[in-house]
Amino acid sequence: MYQDIQHFKSDFFKALAHPLRIKILEALVDGDKNVNEIQTLLGSEGSAVSQQLSVLRSKNVVYGVKDGTSVIYSLRDPLIKELLSVTKQIFDNHLVDAISMLENIKNQ
């Protein structure tokens, strides 16, 4: 069972391992959207957005519901919002450390 969890985590993080996928998830944190809305928000081509949404769907990170001629995409799990927030906090911590190190070098 432990290996199953490790494989799940590995696959999950692989699904997140693309900047456009992260941007898509960040857009979906604010609510459900169709491809055109995501494309407009991100300033990306529709084919690129569709391709990355396909990866996220195949890894069960997002899901889509048909609405007329379009598909509305949503986060599969609301905890993804927290994961993105924690990741930003980790980034900020690394940035603070880097700034502190540079200040120490400057003051020597």
Q: For the chain, what are the domain ranges?
A: 2-76, 78-108
C-alpha distances out from residue 13 to 10, 60, 84, 90, 108, Å: 5, 12, 12, 16, 40
pLDDT reported for residue 25: 98
Residue 63's alpha-carbon distances to 73, 103, 106, in angstroms, are: 6, 46, 49
- Cα distances (Å, whole numbers) of residue 103 to 5, 52, 80, 106: 41, 40, 35, 5
pTM across the whole model: 0.83
pLDDT of residue 39: 95
Please give the chain's pLDDT, 108 residues, in tens: 678 999 989 999 999 999 999 999 999 999 999 999 999 999 988 799 999 999 999 999 999 999 999 999 999 999 999 999 999 999 888 887 777 777 778 777
For the structural domain made of 2-76, what CATH number should be given? 1.10.10.10
pLDDT at residue number 15: 93
Q: Note the pLDDT of residue 6.
A: 93
